[in-house]
Amino acid sequence: MPSVILALVVVIAFALYFLVWAGTNAQLQAVRSGQIPEPRGGTAQLEEALRMLGPDHVQEIGVGVVVGIGRVMLIVFAASHIGTEFGWGTLRTLLAHGAGRGTFLASKAASLGLFAAVLVAVGTLGAIGASYAVVGLGGGSSGAGVDLEAVASIAAKGIYTCLPYMALAVGIAVLARSAGAGIGAGLVVLFAEGIIADILVALNRDYAQIVNWGLARNVTALARATSNVESPSAGISLPDPAQAAITLGAYTAIFMAIAYWRLRTRDVTIG
Amino acid sequence: MTVAPADVVLRTKGLVKRFGEITAVDGLDLEVRRGEVVGLLGPNGAGKSTTIGIVLGLITPTAGSAEILGRDVRSRRGAALRGVGAMLEVTSFYPYLSGRDNLIAIAILRGGGALARVDPLLARLGLAQRARSSFRTYSLGMRQRLGVASTLLADPALVILDEPANGLDPAGQREIRELIRELAKEGRGVLLASHLLHEVEQVCDRVMVIKKGKLIGSGTIAEVTRRGGYLEIAIAETARAAGILRRLPGVKEIRETANGIDVIADSERGADLNRALASAGLYASAIVPRASSLEDVFLELTETEAAPAQAAG
């Protein structure tokens, strides 16, 4: 499963870069050849879109895509990583052979953190490769090249924003002794919470005081602090990036603590 | 008999486990010593697996304690389990790993010299040929063998085997029986939970029969089977003899047979029966104590309502 996920994130990064490049480039060529009318404002927006695919913008587009897709994959992986131990009965085997419950969970958490880092790193390398490939196909310039420091910084923050979702998936998988429950809960929170938060803030800005304690707005706040890409919530009071980092860290710790408490107190029955 | 603490590898005291309204284990006292094989018997739902779960620290007891090599399982679980190798009723390994890799994973967890025992154990359990095949391709019998192999990785003083012969063919069952005896000869204590009573009868030194979580009978195989034994009396006037013996205290049942009568009574009552017959002018040509099979005793014990009692010993 891990190698499939890693391969998939690279394929998706390449596919997205090629789709965006092919679509934008085709549109631009059609405008230039007069096949379709020129959009209002000229072709500047299309040319800007092509420039954004260049290696010097990987930290804004490529890493964002990888972290966005990676978050979904990591929720699935985290829940499966622990849920299958219940499903296969291997947790029972490990505990019967002397493994400690705390040690078991700590090793799972460490391997999940490591995998999140590897996934974002591999995906980012894939995005960088895709970026050079589409620039090469278009015969354009790769500009100043990849800003490795910026890419590393944004990738690291991207990994950090994945952790609470992974911890939530682990917590639910332990509570329900099921990978499916962890995946379901993680994905529902990932997709639904952000939408609900944005709707509430759009209805009344005062609701930001409440929804800013959720996951989605803190993730957005941390992403905006390091990216030039505007989020849908731009302009509406997001949490301070430092506060966002602390809140996300606290959620990760709380979800893991719940998982540990349940694992420690639960009877592991046989048969 | 007083047993030196050093000889006791497993001891439970007043073990109780309740799941809500259900009492799965009810005041169970168990003891396994070095070099002996103890059979844990009971019908389905008797509390055998729950007891094993408590001993391994998988299940927290409501009351009582379990000690392995004198170490309390709750307060010193890690140290206590270092001396145990356990195979649970459902053998669970990582399906995508080979049998060998599964053992290596457990050996790494176990530490010590466990890694060096992986290949010899695969050979000892007849799995060397398929050691590198993935676990998901193993037959039930191979899975059981791998489970048994995993119990020996840590060179344990106590081996717990829950239904180890499940899914094995007769030759495989015999191999497991021989292995269990070898383990006992090596000075390990073995706790064997099994439904195969003839297997238990052949390998166990002592048995403990539980029902509804209570100990309803225990002792050596000889003691337990004697409990359900009978006296075979070869005599001519069977009807008259039966009438005389039926009045004697301790005689539970009399069955007339082709050659005489079978008297269900304590086998040590042979002399009393003989005396009673002789005083009535009846002379038996033979009085032979016969033991019941373990199966007969098991059924007799478990089909009557559970009441805490020592069957023998």
User: Cα–Cα distance between A65 and A123 in angstroms, integer?
Assistant: 9
- Smallest CA–CA distance, residue A257 to chain B, in Å, is 20
Tell me the C-alpha distance between B210 and B29, whole Å. 11
Quickly list DSSP for chain A.
-HHHHHHHHHHHHHHHHHHHHHHHHHHHHHHHTTSSPPPTTTTHHHHHHHHHTSGGGTTTTHHHHHHHHHHHHHHHHHHHHHHHHHHHSHHHHHHHTT--HHHHHHHHHHHHHHHHHHHHHHHHHHHHHHHHHHHHHHT---TT---HHHHHHHHHHHHHHHHHHHHHHHHHHHHHT-HHHHHHHHHHHHHHHHHHHHHHHHH-GGGHHHHTTSHHHHHHHHHHHH-SSPPTTTTS-PPPHHHHHHHHHHHHHHHHHHHHHHHHHS-----
Instruction: Identify which has the larger pLDDT, B121 or A227.
Output: B121
Contact between chains at B59 and A269 (C-beta distance less than 8 A): yes
Backbone angles phi, psi at A228, to 5 degrees: -90, -5
Q: Which of residues 88-147 of A touch B (CB under 8 A)?
A: 88-90, 92-100
- Verify whether the Cβ–Cβ distance B150 to A93 is below 8 Å: yes
Interchain pair A268, B109: CB under 8 A? no
User: According to the model, what pLDDT value does residue B153 have?
Assistant: 93
- Asked if B110 and A97 come within 8 Å (Cβ–Cβ), the reply is yes
pLDDT tens string B112-138: 889 999 999 999 999 999 999 999 999
Q: What is the pLDDT of residues B63-81, one digit of tens each?
A: 999 999 999 999 998 889 9
pLDDT at B138: 92
Tokens read off for B103: 């053992």
| Residue B97: pLDDT over 70 | yes
Average pLDDT over residues B135-142: 91
| Total-model pTM | 0.81
Average pLDDT over residues A17-28: 89
Rounded distance, CA A141 to CA B304, Å?
A: 89
Across the interface, whether the CB atoms of A97 and B86 are under 8 A apart is answered: yes
B89 touches chain A (CB under 8 A): yes
**pLDDT band for position B311 (cuts 50, 70, 90):** very low
Three-state secondary structure call for residue B86: strand
Interface touch B89/A271, C-beta < 8 Å: yes
The shortest C-alpha distance from A84 to chain B (Å) reads: 9
pLDDT in tens, A246-269: 999 999 999 999 999 999 988 887
Mean pLDDT value of segment A226-251: 74
Is residue B296 classed as helix, strand or coil in its secondary structure?
helix
Question: Contact B92/A99, CB-based, under 8 Å?
Answer: no
Given a cut of 90, whether residue A55 has pLDDT beyond it is: no
Q: How many CB pairs under 8 A join A and B?
A: 74
Q: Give me the mean pLDDT over the A200-210 stretch.
A: 86
Q: Are B259 and B234 within 8 A, CB to CB?
A: yes
pLDDT-derived band at B1 (thresholds 50, 70, 90) equals very low
3-class state of residue B26 by DSSP: strand
Residue B268: predicted pLDDT:
74
Question: How close, in Å, is residue A172 to chain B by CA atoms?
Answer: 21
Q: What is the mean pLDDT of chain B?
A: 86
Chain A residues inside the 8 Å CB shell of B55: none
pLDDT of residue B2: 46
Question: Least CB-CB distance to B49: which of A90, A99, A270?
Answer: A270
Among B50, B89, B106, the residue with its CB nearest the CB of A97 is B106
The pLDDT assigned to B25 comes to 92
